[in-house]
Structure 1
Amino acid sequence: MRLFLVTLTPLLGLFIWRSKYTFYYNILTKMELPDGYYYEGEVSSHCHPMNSAPNLSFKYCEDASFWDHYDADGKLEERRVVVSCDSGRREWNTVMGPLLDPTPRGSLWMYSPISGETTHLTLENFPAEHTFHPLGVEIYPSYSGNASYMYVVNHAANKTVIEQFRVSPSESVAKHIRTLSHPFFVASNALALTSPTSFYVTNDHVFTKRLPYVGAVLPMVETVLGIPLSFAGHVIINPDETDETAVLSHTVVAPFVAFSNGLSISPSGLELAIASTSIGTVYFYSRNTSTNALTFSTSVQLPFPPDNVKYDHYGNLVVSGHPHFPTLLQLVAGKVDIAPSWVVSISRIQGAVTAEYDLNAPLSTSTIVPSPANHTVQTLFQSNGKIFTSSTSGLIDTLSGNLYVTGLYAEDGAIICHP
């Protein structure tokens, strides 16, 4: 027992030291954020709900991804946005709890910047007995109007799986193809496609809320102490939709991450980013495009625990997250109505890094965390929760300049900010 304690104490000290910025700024103190800040103009006149027609299902939205449509010549015609929402999240949340009622289904939505409309995607051929609680969502580009594969992480009643759908640009229907299951889909969270039939996927915890007796304690210990048990893997699935062996391989490519959450592949395909929520850090990996192997390259400390990450088409990484963890827990428990939001863009730079950056934001990143090596950080959106609450995903459309932000417990679901 004594040897165990002698070994455990320095390990716990190391974990706490790694999480020092998160502990101080995001747990022990509550930062003073504005009601709302948008880097391209006044929030009140530039930002509005994505779904202008009220719908009780379009709320509590977790992830958002672009769906690019190309013509026969390879020209980009439209960049739609697919959003995953779960109006039953207060009754079923396998990451933060509670696990009360998995019956009400979550939903998928599609926003078109050309029409300005948000459309509900009807689930076709989805098994009647299946429960559906979507988190990460990714969809392969459409070429010359062809249908695309869409993959959605589903925190279903019995276990976490990944659903495969087919979506056509001319229909508002997600046709269910099959449910992907694997022993390493322990707590799958986010996806990044490497082909129509392969993808990276994070698993945010090893200990989950589903565990009997210890599920109420161990996941929180893993989260708060920043214990690096979670991981990301690369998955290859069978292109034959009828074959019973759906998952051909799962390879762990990024082990030992503390609460691995969102991940994204750069436009060049040569870099992959993973959010480590517990320690408020984004890890960057060099990617072998032939083997999909990853090699750690660098990291960037952020002033908040990051949730999802998305590269824009210029190679800047948009990161959204939760500036105050205790308030988020209170929001989950229904004790408060709002929680803070923060969205930033991380850009690689050449030359010396200055100590002061992000100076236009009401609360500057540079006043909280050290200057990142070879990168700079710019705040795109901030709110103490009054304008928009519990941000999880941020997307920048480099065509229109629009910023899209989803909210885990936002009644509006998601907002659009126009420059």
Structure 2
Amino acid sequence: MLTKMQLPDGYYYEGEANSHCHPMNSLPNLSFKYCEDASFWENYKVNGKLEERRVVVSCDSGRREWNTVLGPLLDPTPRGSLWIYSSKLNKTARLTLENFPDERTFHPLGVEVYPSYSGNASYMYVVNHAANETAIEQFLVSPSSSVATHIRTLSHPFFIASNALALTSPTSFYVTNDHVFTKRLPYIGAVVPMVETIFGIPLSFTAHVTVNPDETAHNAVLSHTIVAPFVAYSNGISISPSGLEVAIASTSIGTVYFYSRNTTTNALTFSTSVKLPFPPDNVKHDHDGNLIVGGHPHFPSLLQLLENKVDVAPSWVASISPLAGNVLPEYDLKATLSASTIVSPPNNHTVQTLFQSNGNTFPTSSSGLLDTLSGNLYVTGLYAEEGAMICHP
């Protein structure tokens, strides 16, 4: 987290970064920047065949004025935004928020959308670090429009610092809580959360939440059960394609924890962990079961970027893949800076670098998505002026 590494301007594992990677939004838009999370939204035909795999992106152009994790907390008024990228049309469109309360502030982080079948509308859940609370917003989205209709705001006393989501059904999900002490706290908020981060104090947790299917019910959250306690800075979370494994990123200690999942009760049992050469942010399984991890190789540079002391901060996106046997001492040999030169090889996984940059090609990577159909790699940038990029193989 604190050691600055000699990263290249841009490395992409399927070709030259400067010719294969480009901004996701081809048209300049002031709102499409500082993008935190990205998730696939799968649209299936009547026969169950995948028609299109869209990408949903959460952005917040006001992040430099309002960031409840890193600070500052100056102005929550400018709203963040949600975007949809269609690989069929090679086009990025902003989602219009319909029925969202005029007086409510909107600062999106984690976003997840349930698959659409036969053109039906789907629920979309978005973590919102609003002015007065952290909550989860529930929307309805349809493949035939660029409108996100707000259904309701989900609140709970333990949505202290909710960060990332992983859906287990249309009305249930896992949610990480990255800190117990937050920037919102009076007096101690300026210091204690950073102490919790830097020293890797394992106070954060992940919970499973069940939502009332009755959209008009007063008790919107039916249950909230902590399933993975005592993790240092729980950040991204993802469920494997089989549904049997859950991965949770521990940002402070540069580790991803893997849990076995009981698909009936949604209980989690720790199974193993993988050390990474960078603090992981968001994690997403691809459809072959590999875990794609985006993160920040040098945390001080990220903080200096917030203070306008540097122009860019580095990026690293890697894939963690399960192995049948042990990993050889050397791995990730194609990367400009190999993960194997920084961390010890894991026993039952291997790590491959997909993208890395000192920030000149693309800064502050927070999420990585790998589409196994097209081979496209999508990367969001927490403080990237271009918001997000696509790398084509």
Instruction: Give the aligned partner of residue 253 of structure 2.
Output: 279
Q: Deviations over 1:119-175 (max 9, x none)?
A: 000000000000000000000000000000000000000010000000000110000
Matched length: 393
Instruction: Give the aligned partner of residue 301 of structure 1.
Output: 275
Instruction: Give the aligned partner of residue 250 of structure 1.
Output: 224
Asked whether the 8 Å contact 2:298–2:314 carries over to 1, the reply is yes
Aligned partners of 1:32 and 1:352: how far apart in 2?
Answer: 28
Aligned partners of 2:60 and 2:341: how far apart in 1?
Answer: 35
Instruction: Give the aligned partner of residue 7 of structure 1.
Output: none
| Cα shift at 1:108 | 0.2
SS at match of 2:317: strand
Q: 1:320 aligns with which of 294, 300, 303?
A: 294
Q: What is the letter of the counterpart of residue 62 of structure 1?
A: E
Aligned partners of 2:365 and 2:325: how far apart in 1?
Answer: 32
Instruction: Give the aligned partner of residue 226 of structure 1.
Output: 200
Once the two structures are superposed, the pairs formed by residues 28-107 of structure 1 within 5 Å of their partners are: 29-107=3-81
Indicate whether 1:121 and 2:117 are aligned: no
Name stretches of at least 5 consecutive residues in structure 1 with no aligned partner: 1-25
| Cα shift at 1:287 | 0.1
| Cα shift at 1:212 | 0.1
Instruction: Give the aligned partner of residue 395 of structure 1.
Output: 369
Aligned partners of 2:282 and 2:252: how far apart in 1?
Answer: 13
Instruction: Give the aligned partner of residue 338 of structure 1.
Output: 312
SS at match of 1:377: strand
Aligned partners of 2:218 and 2:134: how far apart in 1?
Answer: 19
Indicate whether 1:356 and 2:315 are aligned: no
| Cα shift at 1:57 | 0.1
SS at match of 1:398: coil
Q: 2:243 aligns with which of 269, 272, 275?
A: 269
Aligned partners of 1:233 and 1:290: how far apart in 2?
Answer: 15
Instruction: Give the aligned partner of residue 288 of structure 1.
Output: 262
Q: What is the letter of the counterpart of residue 378 of structure 2?
A: Y
Indicate whether 1:147 and 2:121 are aligned: yes
Name stretches of at least 5 consecutive residues in structure 2 with no aligned partner: none
Larger Rg: 1
Instruction: Give the aligned partner of residue 106 of structure 2.
Output: 132
- Normalised by the length of structure 2, the TM-score is 1.00
Q: Deviations over 1:251-303 (max 9, x none)?
A: 00000000000000000000000000000000000000000000000000000
How many percent of aligned residue pairs carry the same amino acid?
Answer: 81
Once the two structures are superposed, the pairs formed by residues 144-183 of structure 1 within 5 Å of their partners are: 144-183=118-157
Q: Deviations over 1:52-94 (max 9, x none)?
A: 0000000000000000000111100000000000000000000
Aligned partners of 2:228 and 2:306: how far apart in 1?
Answer: 29
Indicate whether 1:410 and 2:384 are aligned: yes
Q: Deviations over 1:338-369 (max 9, x none)?
A: 00000000000112320000000000000000
| Cα shift at 1:316 | 0.1
Q: What is the letter of the counterpart of residue 218 of structure 2?
A: E
**C-alpha RMSD of the superposition:** 0.4
- Normalised by the length of structure 1, the TM-score is 0.93
More helix by share: 1
Indicate whether 1:189 and 2:163 are aligned: yes
Aligned partners of 1:79 and 1:338: how far apart in 2?
Answer: 31
Q: What is the letter of the counterpart of residue 79 of structure 2?
A: R
Aligned partners of 1:359 and 1:114: how far apart in 2?
Answer: 34
